[in-house]
Structure 1
Amino acid sequence: EGAKMSSVLLVTCEHGGNQIPREYRDLFHGANDVLESHRGWDPGALRAARQLAKQLQVELISSTTSRLLVELNRSLHHPRLFSEFTIGLAASEKQQILNRWWHPHRRQIVDWIGEAVRQGQQVVHVGVHSFTPVLNGSVRRTDIGLLYDPRRPSERRLCTQWGRLLKGNLPEMVIHRNQPYRGAADGLTTWLRTQFEDRCYVGIELEINHRDLHPWTSDSTALIRSVGMTLAEVCG
């Protein structure tokens, strides 16, 4: 075992907005309510990601195109890669959408990570998301979820330490690991784990409850400050 690799942080935000490009707006006629909902985007996530990246002085790669055009956090084979609004498009049109939005986002991230790894660094990638407080009638108690793959020792170790620090800094918040979703489910980090080994790549999804970010308040700013401070401590 060689010397411990120095780590570098990358922040991404896949669902930062609910924009629909002009040429596809006809497909979303009358769909404003859905676009404004958690299905259209992750409210507050981009603001959180921007604050986090600025605070830690690290790279941010983000998208503001609605996940209802194409879901950047799903694999090409996933049945919900395209929503009910775009699933009926011709294969050639779907390919155009993938070429313009899905592939460039992934390529930018892979290139960035690949360059850091070539320089001998371990990349800690934090994908920032927000989730709806109530899903199908059930209230989610989680305020902050740290999603990771338990089979990856680096991820398990980082999230255990980060979760402990968050609980100490934010005693009133409910902090969970691998809730409200499982970190090993299909997504961007899951795919990136197949591209980079554990010692080079640590992929974490930071899931924050909408109610803590939207509408944004001074409490939201303080929350993200604590998130950044504790993350810096874990990665330091």
Structure 2
Amino acid sequence: MSSGGNGVSPVKRKIIITCEHGGNHIPRAYRRFFKESVTLLGSHRGYDAGALGLARRLVSEIEAELYLSSVSRLLVDLNRSPGSRNLFSHITRGMDLVTKKKILNDYYFPYRNGVESVVAHAVKKNMQVLHVSVHSFTPVLDGSERTADVGLLYDPSRTGEKNFCARWRDEILSQCPDLVVRSNYPYRGTTDGMTSYLRKKHDGDLYRGIELEMNQKHLVNASRFNNDVTRGVVRSLCSVLCGARR
């Protein structure tokens, strides 16, 4: 686990925005495996609808670097750790080892290693990294309605992440008081993902990994209210970051 090294508190912050499930693209070489899965590719199982647009809006408003992928999670899930049983979907899990290795080398490792390298480089320079991984969730799953508009996922044992999300939640509600904002919903912030993987490598004072989960009903249906919601979430992060610099 990394640390500040010399005990000096970090004086600079680096912000990165990632979007692991930004699209449902299947490279030409593998499309024959998905001929019967067109509907599935267009569903929440194929990608996080609207997440990439939200990530780009965040980057347009704050000083941050964006790392994204438009390859479908049904080919390989970039938000799963190496060796995870959910790394490959039911469609690709049965492929031969040579094919799966090529998928990993062409799509998985370049993305994962790129993000990991940027974080490690910043931490080595004693910078504090704020990593916001942007996702969206389907409003209804298996017949049950999700009971939130926004979810902020973090590790409750990391005080920095917990406090940051508390401030972010308050700021979202000040911008959009009618929203329901929940902590560690619709998933726990400690389950396997890009942020939880990086937490194992870096000290909590230097790395803060937050997952932003937006209800897709606010991202895929254009309306004045939904546009205001998205704008409010983006502005809320700007406000929290500006407050942290004071």
TM range (shorter): over 0.9
Following superposition, the deviation at residue 151 of structure 1 comes to: 1.1
Rounded Cα–Cα distance in structure 2 between residues aligned with 1:55 and 1:224? 12
Q: What do the CA deviations read for 1:62-108 (whole angstroms, capped 9, x no partner)?
A: 00000000011111222111111101101121111111111111111
Q: 1:220 to 1:49 in 2, by over 3 A?
A: farther
Name the residue aligned to 1:11. Answer: 17
Q: With structure 1 as the length reference, what TM-score do the two structures score?
A: 0.95
Shift of 1:152: 1.1
Match of 1:113 among 119, 123, 131: 119
| Candidates 135, 143, 156, aligned match of 1:137 | 143
Gaps of 5+ in 2: 1-6
Where 1:41 maps in the other structure, the secondary structure is: coil
Matches of 1:100 and 1:217 in 2, distance apart?
A: 38
- 1:27 paired residue among 33, 58, 66: 33
How do residues 197-216 of structure 1 correspond to structure 2 at under 5 angstroms? 197-216=203-222
**What is the alpha-carbon distance in structure 2 between the residues aligned to residue 9 and residue 87 of structure 1?**
34
After superposition, the CA RMSD in angstroms is 1.5
Pairing of 1:144-155 with structure 2 (within 5 A): 144-155=150-161
Displacement of 1:113 after TM fit? Answer: 1.4
Alignment of 1:187-202 (within 5 A): 187-202=193-208
Q: SS at 1:49's partner residue?
A: helix
Letter in 2 for 1:17: G
Q: Deviations over 1:191-218 (max 9, x none)?
A: 0101211011100000000101013444
Q: Is 1:95 matched up with 2:104?
A: no
Aligned pair partner of 2:184 in 159, 170, 178: 178
Give the partner amino acid of 2:130: V
- CA distance in 2 between partners of 1:79 and 1:216 (Å): 36
Q: How many residues align?
A: 236
Cα drift, residue 168 of structure 1: 1.7
Return closer, same or farther for 1:53/1:160 CA change in 2, 3 Å cut-off.
Answer: same
2:4 matched to which residue of 1? none
1:122 aligned residue: 128
2: CA distance, partners of 1:112 / 1:3: 19
TM-score (norm 2): 0.91
Unpaired runs of 5+ residues, structure 1, are none
**Structure 2 Cα separation of the partners of residues 101 and 183 of structure 1:** 25
Q: Residue 44 of structure 1 contacts residue 215 of structure 1 at CA under 8 Å; is this kept in 2?
A: no
Contact 1:129 1:206 in 2 (8 A): yes
The DSSP-based 3-state class of the residue aligned with 1:222 is helix
Verify the 8 A CA contact 1:122 1:201 in the aligned structure 2: yes
2:91 is matched with 85
- Identical-pair percentage: 42
Which one is further off, 63-72 or 119-128?
A: 119-128
Partner of 1:232: 238
